[in-house]
Structure 1
Amino acid sequence: MANRASTVTLAALGGAALGLIIGWQLPGSSVTAPVIEAAVADPASPPTLSLGERLRGEITSTSELNGKDGSRFERFTLTLEEGALIEIELSGPLQGSLALYDAEQQILATSANPAYYDAPAAASLRRRIDEDGDYMLVVSGHDLHSYGPFTLNSRHIELTTSDTLEMPSRADGWLQGSGDTYTLTIEESGLFQFEMRSSDLDAYLVLEGPNGYRREDDDSAGNLDARIADFLEPGEYRLTARSSYGQDSGLYTLELAPHELASGETLRNSGELTFDEPLHGWFSGETLSYEFTLDSPAAVTIDMLSSDFDSFLELSGNNVSYSDDDGGEGLNARLYASLDAGSYRVTARSHGGHGSGLFELRASAVDLDDLPSNGQLEVDSPIQARLEPGARDYYELVVESAGDYRLDLLSDDFDAYLELEGQGLSLRDDDGAGGLNARISTHLEEGTYRAVARAYGNSESGSYTLHLHRE
């Protein structure tokens, strides 16, 4: 965040000695910058520093004295123009700081002292000038032990003057209490990224657009920098750059560009979901829908993969409804269902509607008649087998007498997940048998059924027992 400076008046002491008070609190720190309280003698007229000039000086034992803490300081006069954004940098062996005063002896800006940080760094201050006039710059040693040569570099910072931005583009701006708003036009839908970076303040971005679109971000670019990455439809947008708390001042840079992940990718946020043809999309808080049609009954598997958010899938149509959160690897979603011929809708979103980012959607289908069989399961004849990572083991059940049945999948090696389909039934269970074991208890009519033994997580494997009981 930007350094906050108190407004302090320069007071004349007895007309001969000049009192200078430079005090500020570093954000997030209990350290107070040096206080220069009183010069002990009538100083000579301060030398002049011209903007753009490189000037060398030195804090010595003959420099003006801060009577409170014994530190030393030097003063310089600058003539500045209204509207100019200036930057002054202090470098060299001296561990020191800077302060800028106006003609009314009001302190306008200060620098953080590099002595407070682990790595050496140049102290600098920036300020937009409100009116023409003569200003005073004070170079102060950090404490009574701070002596040595220093170099002052000053420059006028060129800023972007237009409030209209192109895509892609870069803009340099200055915040002094309130936000800056820019307009831009997106010609074609796609994935775009907006970044606001600043070493002076806590960056905050707001993006608004057609149909009530609005996104905000504080720290997604790392440290205190802001980033908004999103899939945008064509239209006019408003981008507001401000500080997180609304009152800080400082220099910032905006960068607008197509998102690098979009290179070579075709992003689709709706439309047909084609089997065995993965598609990529961008989730930004709004539920996305895709459709597919089956010409004949099939076992369908749908995966939603994302490293940006916790994916969530829903499947509906033909009087069926399924959903899944973490059925795939990690936080990825996976749906598996035996479906009749017909049209279906897949809904892709995040768990809880939180987060945003890139995702991949994959779908595959196998005709039910082509599913591999691991054998036939009979009543009170348990099967012991081993499940391989990511596998599904299929078993055929032939019910010759209608009644109540219980199907158990038991394992000490993985989180068991059980499915039972056939004769109009489609049942699933995770932990119904206690612990991480699965159980389905239901009434079965005469006919042929299919049981699926698998792990809840896609990477799990191990030994299991599948047992069908007549109750």
Structure 2
Amino acid sequence: MKLSTIFAAILGAAIAGGGTAYYYQQNPSTQQQTAFTVLPLDTTKAGEINSTSLVNLSNGVRSVPFTLTAEAGQFYKIAVTGALRAQISVLQNGLLIASSTTAKNNCDECSNSSTAVAPAMLAFKAETAGKYDVVVSGLDSNAYGPFSVTATPLKTYVGSVVKAGMDITEIAMGRQQEFKLEVDEKAIYTIDMKADQGRLDPYLSLLDQNGRELVSDDDGGDNYDAKIQTYLEPGTYTIQTSSAVGADTFQGTYRLIIAKEALTSDITLESGATLHADGAKQTGLYNGQAQEFTFELPETMLVSLDVNALGFDPDVMVDGASINYQRRGQYTLRAVLEAGTHSITIDGSQGGIYDLALSASSVPANAGGGAIRVGDTRQAVMLSGVTRINYTLDITQAGNYVIDMASPVFDTSLSLHQNGYTLAENDDIDYSNGNTNSRIEMELEPGRYQIQAMALSEGSRNRDYSVAVKRK
């Protein structure tokens, strides 16, 4: 058997065996290695897996080997791109040091095509100086095609200072890693943690100078990547990187990208303020503490609230009920609210800047809202652009009550609240049979309740609906 065939057969066993085998025959007659293509650092080398490539006789996987000269203690990243569905192995003196496989459609670089091939990535540490064999193989016996391979030395910043504007690649070695983040000006900071290797599930935490966690994230980025966006004051913070499924699985390479967006508006809105419904835009800061505001209505009015958030996706609530966002970071409420004091709350898991504008106008005839009594059936219209109407219900006698909302032209939804808590919700009475009206039936104690009657789509015209309350 020729040396190249012997090498290929045992090489395949080493790759398949996870480092438990040698890929050179351990006797003098086979110690001479065939000449492999040199893989210079930071230089892309082209190759191709075809029918003449070295073959593993046990499973038919074919390989192309390269030689890399490495420095002791240095980390290296090997990347293979192209049409080949590839895996990478690194060996020294015939022993498998590291190996990695890849999968389809699991990367930013891949297209949306079902046949797109993700790059294969592998990072390893050269414990000793010398020559290492970098072997590019097909993922299986049917994997053929051209490829490009690049070896890049990694400069580690673990334990060192990082700043906005940096885009670094790090290697995880089975334990949590920390970086010191220096912030030189107040701004919105974005920290992206992107996995190069599919077996790494990124998890990010940001700590203040006292070691207190400010914010953390698992899947806020693309795919299963992690992403933090938050407002930061000047100072030194700690970024912690790990795996969402445990630090012991935190192995492979990842990118850490830090960016900032300078503030363009002064902070004019502070938590606890009483708002005026005059339509004026004000800017507020959310930094981990719920922002609470109130506003007064002298009579039942049509209220418009617009909140635009930068750097985070907040939870925006009016009178304890959440507002659905129109698009990311943009929240709009058009609702008929009764006379009295109302609350707006802005909260969330991350921090940032937001603009808020509140206005109120007279309610058109038959727009609904206000007080509703047990036994009443209110016929009203959901105004153009309005998606919810609030009603106040006073219960004087404990019992079982039924609240119905019906419309011939839109899909309804009901929710019942008390003291800022959601007690019950219902979308469809019987969706499978086409009944998209809503009903809440529950035991109620004496007290004041809020009914929120909603349309699940925004209409371009006024639409009829009814709300009814009865005691069973």
Query: Residues of 2 paired with 1:291 and 1:86: CA distance?
Result: 57
1:289 matched to 2:288? The reply is: no
> SS of the residue aligned with 1:172?
strand
What is the aligned partner in structure 2 of residue 45 from structure 1?
33
Change (3 A) 1:269 1:100: farther
Question: 1:154 aligned to 2:156?
Answer: no
- The equivalent of 1:362 in structure 2 is 357
Q: 1:326 to 1:38 in 2, by over 3 A?
A: same
SS at match of 1:364: strand
Q: Which residue of 1 aligns with 2:282?
A: 279
- The equivalent position to 2:95 in structure 1, one of 93, 106, 109, is 106
Partner amino acid, structure 1, of 2:316: S
Amino acid at match of 1:82: A
Cα shift readout 1:372-403 (whole Å, capped 9, x = no counterpart):
7779xxxxxx997756435799xxxxxxxxxx
% of aligned pairs identical? 23
Call closer, same or farther: CA 1:239–1:290 in 2, change over 3 Å.
same
Mapped partners of 1:74, 1:409: distance in 2:
70
Please report how far the alpha carbon of residue 141 of structure 1 lies from its aligned counterpart in structure 2 after TM superposition.
5.2
Counterpart position of 2:171: 174
Report whether the alignment pairs 1:347 with 2:339: no
Question: Which position in structure 2 is the counterpart of 1:426?
Answer: none
Residue 240 of structure 2 corresponds to residue 240 of structure 1: yes
Matched position secondary structure for 1:254: strand
- Counterparts of 2:17 and 2:268 in 1: how far apart (Å)? 49
1:257 aligns with 2:254: no
| Residue number in structure 2 paired with 1:311 | 316
Q: Distance in 2 between matches of 1:327 and 1:143?
A: 47
1:66 to 40, 51, 56: 56
Could you report, residue by residue, the CA deviation over 1:238-285 in whole angstroms, capped at 9, with x for unpaired residues?
11123333233333222222359x666858562633432133556576
Structure 1 residues not aligned, in runs of 5+: 1-14, 27-34, 315-322, 376-381, 394-407, 418-429, 439-452
What CA distance in whole angstroms lies between the structure 2 residues aligned with 1:270 and 1:215? 20
Correspondent of 1:82 among 72, 91, 96: 72
Structure 2 counterpart of 1:127: 124
Counterpart residue number, 1:449: none
Q: Measure how far apart 1:181 and its partner are.
A: 1.2
* Greater gyration radius: 1
Q: 1:219 & 1:328 partners in 2: Cα distance?
A: 20
**What amino acid sits opposite 2:239 in the alignment?**
L
For 1:203, the equivalent position in structure 2 comes to 202
Q: What SS does structure 2 have at the residue aligned with 1:270?
A: coil
1:358-397 alignment runs, 5 A limit:
361-365=356-360, 388-389=383-384
Q: C-alpha distance in 2, partners of 1:183/1:304?
A: 37
Q: What CA RMSD, in Å, does the superposition of the two structures yield over aligned residues?
A: 5.7
1:109–1:22 CA distance, 2 compared to 1 (3 A): same
The CA deviation at 1:58 is: 7.0
Counterpart amino acid of residue 34 in structure 2: P
* Contact residue 267 and residue 279 of structure 1 kept, 8 A: yes
Deviation digits for residues 160-190 of structure 1, max 9, x if unmatched? Answer: 4771122343333222222321222445544
The answer on whether the counterparts of 2:314 and 2:346 sit within 8 Å (CA) in structure 1 is: no
Cα deviation, residue 100, structure 1: 1.0
Q: Which amino acid aligns with 1:363?
A: L
Taking the TM superposition and a 5 Å limit, the aligned residue runs for 1:12-23 are: 19-20=10-11, 21-23=13-15
User: What TM-score results when the alignment is normalised by the length of structure 2?
Assistant: 0.60
Q: Residues 232 and 313 of structure 1: is their aligned pair in 2 closer, same or farther, counting only changes over 3 Å?
A: farther
Asked whether the equivalents of residues 22 and 99 of structure 1 are also in contact (C-alpha less than 8 Å), the reply is: no
Runs of at least 5 residues in structure 2 that lack an aligned partner in the other structure: 1-5, 106-113, 368-376, 390-402, 415-424, 430-436, 441-450
Partner of 1:270: 271
For the 8 Å contact 2:282–2:357, the answer to whether it is kept is: yes
Who is 1:446 aligned against? none
Deviation at 1:107, TM superposition (A): 1.6
Quick check: 2:83–2:117 contact (8 Å CA) kept in 1? no
- Taking the aligned partners of 2:144 and 2:182, their CA distance within structure 1 comes to 54
- CA–CA separation in structure 2 for the residues paired with 1:328 and 1:74: 52
Distance 1:223 1:283, change over 3 A: same
Q: Distance in 1 between matches of 2:45 and 2:162?
A: 37
User: How far 1:221 sits from its partner (Å)?
Assistant: 0.9
Aligned length: 387
Partner in structure 1 of residue 224 of structure 2: 224
SS in 2 for 1:196: strand
Quick one: which of 179, 191, 194 aligns to 2:191? 194
What SS does structure 2 have at the residue aligned with 1:242? strand
Which of these residues, 135, 138, 160, is aligned with residue 138 of structure 1? 135
Shift of 1:338: 1.5
- Deviation string, structure 1 residues 89-109 (Cα, Å, up to 9, x no partner): 456787654311234x43222
